[in-house]
Chain A
Amino acid sequence: ETGVTQTPRHLVMGMTNKKSLKCEQHLGHNAMYWYKQSAKKPLELMFVYSLEERVENNSVPSRFSPECPNSSHLFLHLHTLQPEDSALYLCASSQDNWVSGSSYNEQFFGPGTRLTVL
């Protein structure tokens, strides 16, 4: 496997279900991200992990719970979602070289999980 992979590619779930999205990066990067992309809206950054520490939680509802067990893997645990959470969920990674607390390197995306909440 190369690049960034995500599973499952498609997911349909009811509002009472619990499911998890998985992301794996094979690029040796040290930072990983979750984004949400809804129709006609820009990509929304949800979570940022750098060196396995969460550095950003962009006011995301608690029904979304991220987990980063190591620098290659990222999970998004889902529970009691709403129909408006239906979207494409994209994972990305980057190799960040921190300068003055910020980093500017390119991010590479996985193919995404298309989620439908019924």
Chain B
Amino acid sequence: RKEVEQDPGPFNVPEGATVAFNCTYSNSASQSFFWYRQDCRKEPKLLMSVYSSGNEDGRFTAQLNRASQYISLLIRDSKLSDSATYLCAVNLGTGGGNKLTFGTGTQLKVEL
């Protein structure tokens, strides 16, 4: 089983739709979780940290389910500009250093 796993997609959704992605992780000792957005041929940009209680930033909501070992990202009222690859990242919390393990990313395409 991969340490961090995502459905690669693509998810093709119409503008205004609500879309959700999940990301599963294998290590129950994982300590911190993040969602990054990556546009084609660009660097990943931090979208949200994922807190135990869940957190919301505008149209974006991130949640953590420790029992089932996954994090989720919900995008409401999707815009054309939301089209990108969404990467989840997990800090396994072992040893020194802030070592993130990334998933392969989920591609989102928002269409007219």
- Which residues of A approach B to under 8 Å, CB–CB? 31, 40-43, 45, 48, 50, 55-56, 90, 94, 96, 98, 101-112, 114
Interface size on B, residues (CB 8 A): 27
Given A41-B104, A43-B87, A45-B101, A102 and B34 contact (CB-CB distance below 8 Å): no
Question: Contact: A102 with B96, CB < 8 Å?
Answer: yes
Chain A nearest CB, measured from B47 CB (Å): 10
Q: Which residues of B contact A (CB under 8 A)?
A: 4, 31-32, 34, 41-46, 49, 87, 89, 91, 93-105
Q: Which residue of the partner chain, among A31, A40, A42, A105, contacts B102 with CB atoms under 8 Å? A: A42
The 26 listed contacts between A and B (C-beta, < 8 Å) are A31-B97, A42-B4, A42-B102, A42-B103, A42-B104, A43-B44, A43-B100, A43-B102, A55-B96, A56-B95, A56-B99, A94-B98, A96-B98, A98-B96, A101-B96, A102-B94, A102-B97, A102-B98, A104-B31, A104-B32, A106-B46, A107-B34, A107-B46, A108-B46, A109-B45, A112-B42
